[in-house]
Amino acid sequence: MKRTLLSIITVIIFGGILRADEGMWIPALLQKNEAEMQAMGMKITADDIYSINHSSMKDAVVLFGGGCTGELVSDQGLLLTNHHCGYGWIQRHSTVEHDYLTDGFWAMTPEEELACPGLTAIMLKNMVDVTDRVLENITDETSDEERADIIKKHIKSIIEEAEKDTEYKVSVESFYIGNQYFLMYNEVFNDIRMVGAPPSNIGKFGGDTDNWVWPRHTGDFSIFRIYKDGKPYKPDYHFTISLKGVEKDDFTFVFGYPARTNEYLPAVAVNQEANVVYPVVVDLRTQILDIYNKYQEKDAKVRIQYASKHAGLGNGWKKWMGVIEGIRNFKGIEKKQAFEESFYEWCYKERRRQKYQNALRDFDAVYAEYEKYRMATTYLTEAGLSIELIEFAANFAKLADMTKDTPQEEIDELIDDLRQETAAFFKDYYQPIDEEVAVTMLTAYRANRPEDFRPEILNEIDKKFKGDVTAYVDYLLGKSILTSEEKVIALLDNFKPSKAKKLAKDPAVVAVNSMMDFYVDNIKAKSSECNTKINNLCRVYMEGQMKMIPEVLPERNLYPDANFTLRVTYGKVGGFKPKDAVEYRHFTTLDGIMEKEDPNIYDYVVTDRLHELYEAKDFGRYADKDGSMHVAFIAGNHTTGDNSGSPILNAEGQLLGLNFDRTWEVTMSDLVYDPSICKNISVDIRYVLFLIDKYAGCTRLIDEMTIVE
């Protein structure tokens, strides 16, 4: 290709950035990547990974629990995923007497495997490109509204038609922000049972301190089994497990369900995320987590009750701190701006590229408008609804709306739901925490939001409580009946529409209604208007980037953002240099666990059993050839949230480990990816097997796996 001045400039901008490891690829189109993958060391074919004509690896990968990935490792439906993916279930089955979070859980017989009603595993059966049908009759002249209507209509008819001759669940998913569409066929499994989990001081070793950080020593796995028709499910494919381990520069690939990335956003959007929204969320969550910590340290029951809530809040909190720092350190915004310069320049060259240029230009105004609503929503959800009682009250606000004209079945159905929610809420509710969170969050909410653009209830605190938040919270928790399980059950047992008026006056219902009204009256419509505008601009800008990048920046990979669908990503094993003078090795060992051990900190306790095995060097065939027990390793795979639990595979397609995290320095990779430092963290499968076999003695599971030495 003839080099234009523009392409020389852009090579300078992107120079030094090797793009080989970037990208999350659609499995049905993997033929395009096959040559590169094989050149990097892969010994199998794209068809071995994804095929609809014969069994392939895709038949062994599932979307686990709607927010993680799992893989099948036996012909009896045995499934591996991360400990933090099974965490909610491990917690649900835990009590102070049977504390599976602290002690671990091992079903030594099939009968001991624990049912998890509500847990699903979803497996992709087929995907078909339906772009032409979805976008039929749409031209450059079609308005955005018309376009949305046409697409909706087409998708509806495609789904209806597909549903006629399949028992699978079908959906149509958009790729490249509405520039490509696939019809997906999925099998849904509803009977998943819990089989095993290490104690948290192994499965969550290092806790939130080590979370998102390399070097890492977490045995982040748990074991489930898929049942079908009451029997262990026989999959078409299950992974063979390799005991060879990894060496620097080995080829690896990750096969799983990445949730969302936004690699093609304009600089103005990245700036809003990283410099406006995240700092506020991080600040609010820091305050809540401090409160959780204080009470969790004091009381074992509270520690269990708030374990999942803490992990959930803490995970985003820490990630976004990393994003803020990463975007700054690796000049994410400046890189986007430089790209935009060259994009404009490419647009100027041809008249018909005007629409792309306009789209990029129009982002500024929309984002400026959006900020107001985005921040209002952020405070509402992060401060207002982080008060558990207020969030719980949202369920009762509906009950308070019932009148004598409401059909009795509707009331009964709602009451049934509320009974379940009530049981779940009180199992894990500790009022002193909520009281302190309420005072802290309402104080922050009031201090940071203008009087004329916030829920009325915040102004009431001024009017009725002279601005004394503590007095208001005393009143809220003291007067609401929703703090007492007994009273809530009595209400549900004896509810009649004539009681709705009184319920509507409950202070917690009043508070949540005030927040929801504010949302509905002042935010919802505007915010969704902005979102629609942004999506439309993104679609056009994406279309422009899909034309410009192959032409001007051929060395840059173009792939669709993650959208909760199955993807393949590949890269090589290796360490990295996070900053001047610091260099990380690519693997960690059990020695590191002993170094980090601290009997006084819950997350760093090492059990006697692990000590014994370590002292005796009793690693069996799971030891590395260097004699040590390898725990985790890093490689250059482009992963994101929900890739947790994904299989990481070697050149032969054998299981090497389970992906569970990225490194702190690069959590910005959902917005701006830099292959020189972006690494995914996996737990070494040999450590997983060592724990199942040597630590827990659950050898029946090892026996059903296919293991190669």
User: Which positions touch ligand ARG (CB under 6 A)?
Assistant: 84, 204, 207-208, 211-212, 311, 314-315, 641, 644, 660-661
CA distances from 617 to 85, 191, 375, 562 (A): 30, 39, 54, 42
Closest residue by Cα to residue 360 from 479, 468, 268: 268
Single-letter amino acid, residue 302: V
Cβ nearer to ligand ARG, comparing 288 with 347: 288
- Residue 642 binds: one of ligand GLU, ligand ARG, none (C-beta under 5 to 8 A by kind): ligand GLU
Q: Taking the complex as a whole, how short is the minimal distance between the CB of residue 81 and ligand GLU, in angstroms?
A: 10
Pairing of strands 251-256, 567-572: antiparallel
Contact status: 222 vs ligand GLU (CB under 6 A): no
Cβ contact 665:216 at 8 Å: no
Q: What does the longest C-alpha to C-alpha distance in the chain come to? A: 80
Closest residue by Cα to residue 346 from 108, 17, 700, 7: 7
The pair of three-digit structure tokens given for residue 589, joined into one six-digit string = 């060992």
CA distances from 93 to 77, 88, 89, 106, 197 (A): 21, 9, 6, 12, 12
Cβ nearer to ligand ARG, comparing 477 with 632: 632
Cβ nearer to ligand ARG, comparing 422 with 680: 680
Q: Taking the complex as a whole, how short is the minimal distance between the CB of residue 659 and ligand GLU, in angstroms?
A: 7
Q: ω into residue 450 within 30 of 0, thus cis? A: no
Q: Taking the complex as a whole, how short is the minimal distance between the CB of residue 669 and ligand GLU, in angstroms?
A: 8
Contacts of 181 (CB under 8 A, 6+ apart): 129, 130, 131, 133, 134, 135, 155, 172, 173, 174, 175
Candidate ranges 12-20, 423-431, 577-585, 637-645; the one touching ligand GLU (CB under 6 A):
637-645
Q: Taking the complex as a whole, how short is the minimal distance between the CB of residue 68 and ligand GLU, in angstroms?
A: 6
Cβ contact 698:689 at 8 Å: no
Contact status: 22 vs ligand GLU (CB under 6 A): no
- Residue 575 binds: one of ligand GLU, ligand ARG, none (C-beta under 5 to 8 A by kind): none
Single-letter amino acid, residue 519: Y
3-state SS assignment for residue 116: coil
Contact status: 545 vs ligand GLU (CB under 6 A): no
- Residue 204 binds: one of ligand ARG, ligand GLU, none (C-beta under 5 to 8 A by kind): ligand ARG
Site string for ligand GLU, 62-101 (x = CB under 6 A): ------x---------------------------------
Instruction: Compute the distance between CA of residue 300 and CA of residue 297 in angstroms, rounded to an integer.
Output: 8
Cβ nearer to ligand GLU, comparing 320 with 619: 320
Cβ contact 629:622 at 8 Å: yes
Residue facing ligand GLU at closest CB distance: 644
Q: Taking the complex as a whole, how short is the minimal distance between the CB of residue 560 and ligand GLU, in angstroms?
A: 18
Beta pairing partners, 106: 196
Please list every residue from 658 through 677 that binds ligand GLU, using CB under 6 A.
660-662
Candidate ranges 10-18, 161-169, 442-450, 633-641; the one touching ligand GLU (CB under 6 A):
633-641
Cβ nearer to ligand GLU, comparing 74 with 643: 643
3-state SS assignment for residue 676: coil
Contact status: 639 vs ligand GLU (CB under 6 A): yes
Pairing of strands 680-684, 655-662: antiparallel
- Residue 314 binds: one of ligand GLU, ligand ARG, none (C-beta under 5 to 8 A by kind): ligand ARG
Q: Any idea which residues carry the catalytic annotation?
A: 84, 220, 644
The pair of three-digit structure tokens given for residue 520, joined into one six-digit string = 């509905």
- Residue 207 binds: one of ligand GLU, ligand ARG, none (C-beta under 5 to 8 A by kind): ligand ARG
Is 15 exposed, middle or buried, given 0-12, 13-18 or 19+ CB atoms closer than 10 A? exposed
- Residue 646 binds: one of ligand GLU, ligand ARG, none (C-beta under 5 to 8 A by kind): none
Instruction: Compute the distance between CA of residue 320 and CA of residue 273 in angstroms, rounded to an integer.
Output: 9
Q: Which of 263, 642, 665, 684 binds ligand GLU (CB under 6 A)?
A: 642
Q: Which of 174, 200, 643, 682 binds ligand GLU (CB under 6 A)?
A: 643
Contact status: 252 vs ligand GLU (CB under 6 A): no
Contact status: 314 vs ligand GLU (CB under 6 A): no
**Could you say which DSSP state residue 634 is in?**
E
Binding site for ligand GLU (CB under 6 A): 68, 639-644, 660-662
